[in-house]
């Protein structure tokens, strides 16, 4: 860990004194050359690389050779820089021109990229923040010590990292699916099957389902549950923990509403009008963008019909606003419906959402 802590401390000192890119590069070069043992190899700063058949050149910041063969390239930025898309595009172009499969970005953090020769874009496989006693920092030092560093070991490491990333992405995708309406319906189906197996009648099962709420919550987001959010409705429930809540038996609320000064709407129709107006006002939003923004459930018409074919819910034909005049279409051409399941427990979400869009929503006295 000592080598990483030395590198990290020196780079943080450069950051605190707001070093220039040139001074920062000199410090990095020194660390690689002496601390990581590259003094016996060819290492070139501002390496001159010809572009195409014309007499034009680019100058990558640092190019490392192993046994006189190009191995990896370093793209330097100031220590107080913030990485941009253009930075990685530039690193990618150097990797392609040299050509090498490995590129290292060093600026406000250190990041290793891997781009096999048959790929157009590099993949980030290791990002290291400038913090002492970092396991990732230790890994970086072990990878790039001259005595360990070769194309075989770098390739093996990068491929194993990509496998880990892909696995993590698949897990996250499944969590996202479970924390959507798809997962909620799955739990309702599983609970219904259990109730039927326990001998409950269809009427009893429907009554039980109608009188509970099932929320699936991502535990990693629970800490943000009460924080205000500016880009999405602040009271959107975070989405992996299953929570069953008996509905409170309050007195029935028959409040009706004006929407933008017109109409005489109950809770369900008011909510639908808010969503329809929002879709009309935002014609460039895709289905997924709408689904992520509207705080109550929407679902594609095709998926609803598929669900109806398999569900035992005797109220399946009343769960969504499915009349032709109520269906909506997203920018990417997906026809979808809005939930009819609106009551005193969730009407506040859609009303607040509508008011944030600038819509006038007033109860009729």
Assess whether pLDDT exceeds 80 at residue 1. Answer: no
The domain in which residue 32 lies consists of 2-165
Do 304 and 238 share a structural domain? no
pLDDT for 2-44, tens place per residue?
889 999 999 999 989 898 999 999 999 999 999 999 999 999 9
| Cα–Cα distance, 364 to 182 (Å, whole number) | 36
pLDDT for 44-55, tens place per residue?
999 988 887 677
Do 33 and 141 share a structural domain? yes
Beta-carbon contacts of 188 under 8 Å, excluding residues fewer than 6 positions away, are 209, 214, 313
Q: How many domains does the chain have?
A: 3
Do 137 and 89 share a structural domain? yes
pLDDT for 267-307, tens place per residue?
899 999 999 999 999 999 999 899 989 999 999 998 888 88
Q: Please compute the mean of the pLDDT values over residues 103-130 and round it to a whole number.
A: 93
CB 87 within 8 A of CB 109: no
CA-based end-to-end distance of the chain: 71
Sign of CA dihedral 51, 53, 56, 62: positive
pLDDT for 159-178, tens place per residue?
999 999 999 889 988 888 88
CB 95 within 8 A of CB 177: no
171 part of a folded domain: no
Assess whether pLDDT exceeds 80 at residue 231. Answer: no
Beta-carbon contacts of 341 under 8 Å, excluding residues fewer than 6 positions away, are 297, 319
pTM for this model (two decimals): 0.56
173 part of a folded domain: no
Do 8 and 129 share a structural domain? yes
């Amino acid at each position: 860990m000592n080598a990483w802590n030395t590198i990290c401390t020196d780079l943080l000192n450069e950051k605190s004194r707001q070093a220039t890119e040139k001074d920062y590069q000199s410090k990095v070069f020194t660390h690689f050359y002496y601390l990581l043992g590259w003094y016996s190899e060819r290492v070139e700063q501002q390496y001159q690389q010809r572009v195409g058949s014309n007499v034009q050149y680019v100058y990558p910041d640092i190019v490392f050779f192993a046994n006189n063969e190009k191995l990896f390239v370093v793209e330097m930025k100031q220590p107080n820089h913030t990485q941009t898309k253009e930075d990685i595009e530039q690193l990618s172009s150097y990797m392609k021109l040299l050509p090498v499969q490995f590129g290292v970005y060093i600026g406000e953090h250190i990041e290793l990229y891997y781009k096999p020769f048959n790929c157009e874009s590099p993949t980030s496989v290791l990002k290291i923040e400038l913090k002492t006693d970092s396991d990732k920092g230790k890994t970086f030092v072990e990878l790039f010590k001259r005595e360990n560093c070769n194309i075989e070991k770098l390739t093996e490491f990068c491929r194993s990292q990509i496998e880990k990333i892909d696995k993590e992405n698949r897990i996250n995708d499944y969590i996202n699916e479970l924390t959507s309406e798809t997962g909620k319906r799955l739990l309702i189906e599983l609970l219904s099957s259990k109730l039927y197996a326990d001998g409950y009648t269809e009427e009893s099962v429907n009554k039980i389902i109608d009188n509970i709420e099932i929320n699936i919550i991502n535990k990693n987001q629970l800490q943000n549950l009460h924080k205000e959010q500016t880009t999405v409705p602040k009271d959107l429930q975070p989405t992996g923990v299953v929570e069953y809540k008996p509905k409170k038996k309050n007195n029935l609320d028959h409040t009706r509403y004006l929407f933008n000064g017109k109409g005489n709407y109950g809770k369900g129709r008011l909510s639908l009008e808010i969503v329809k107006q929002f879709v009309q006002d935002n014609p460039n939003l895709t289905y997924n963008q709408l689904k992520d923004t509207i705080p109550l459930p929407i679902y594609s018409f095709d998926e609803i019909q598929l669900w109806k074919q398999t569900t035992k819910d005797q109220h399946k034909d009343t769960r969504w606003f499915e009349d032709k005049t109520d269906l909506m279409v997203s920018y990417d051409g997906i026809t979808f419906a809005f939930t009819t399941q609106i009551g005193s427990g969730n009407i506040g979400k859609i009303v607040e959402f509508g008011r944030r869009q600038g819509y006038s929503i007033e109860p009729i006295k």
